[in-house]
Amino acid sequence: MGDNRLMIKVTVNDRLYELQVDPELRLVDLLRDELGLTGTKEGCGKGECGACTIIMNGKTVNSCMVLAFQADGSEILTIEGMGDGEELHPIQEAFIRQGAVQCGYCTPGMVLSAKAILDKNPNPSEEEIRKGISGNLCRCTGYQKIVDAIKDAAEVMGGGGDER
């Protein structure tokens, strides 16, 4: 290691980091092992489960499928950046209210996918919600409650209420 390290600049949860990274380091490891942001989970390491979902430049990505240096210059939102530190984000509140959290291992990824759905369309149909979380597996299989939580959040956040 050492010699071929790359210098990157990346903004994570509104904080700018300048970092030396190994060219083989994955983004999920950078976040978890080096920045201590363990809210991002790894479930498969293969782009299948969505546990490692983050929002990068406005789009959800599987952080296990991105190398850390590829994040150079990007803006990243992880679960730790949802809400404002004190207050929960309405999506997080809706997940609690609707009982959408079981073991919780899929939850950070689900919450970020939910955010991406609502950022794109504040008033999504059930089908759009289901499509939007189709890359996130929940092995405790609480999908219905997760869908309910996203609908609930949409309503609270001002969209929603429209049964399309």
How far apart are the C-alpha atoms of 164 and 157, rounded to whole Å?
17
Stretch that binds other proteins, among 38-46, 55-63, 117-125, 155-163 (CB under 8 A): 38-46
Which of ligand FES, other proteins, none does 47 bind, CB closer than 5 to 8 A by kind?
Answer: ligand FES
Interface with other proteins in residues 94-153 (CB under 8 A): 95-97, 99, 101, 103-108, 111, 137-140
CA distances from 39 to 4, 20, 69, 79, 121 (A): 29, 22, 21, 6, 25
- Note the helical H segments in the chain: 27-29, 90-97, 107-120, 126-132, 143-156
Closest distance of CB 98 from ligand FES, Å: 13
What x/- string results for residues 47 through 86 when contact with other proteins is judged by CB under 8 A? --x-x--------------------------xxx-xx---
How far apart are the C-alpha atoms of 19 and 7, rounded to whole Å?
6
| Residues of this chain that bind ligand FES (CB under 6 A) | 42-45, 47-52, 62, 64, 102-106, 138-140, 142
How far apart are the C-alpha atoms of 3 and 79, rounded to whole Å?
33
Closest distance of CB 31 from ligand FES, Å: 12
Interface with other proteins in residues 2-31 (CB under 8 A): none
Pairing of strands 6-12, 75-77: parallel
In this structure, what token pair is assigned to residue 26?
A: 């994955």
Figure out which of the listed residues 26, 41, 145, 151 binds other proteins, where binding follows CB under 8 A.
Answer: 41
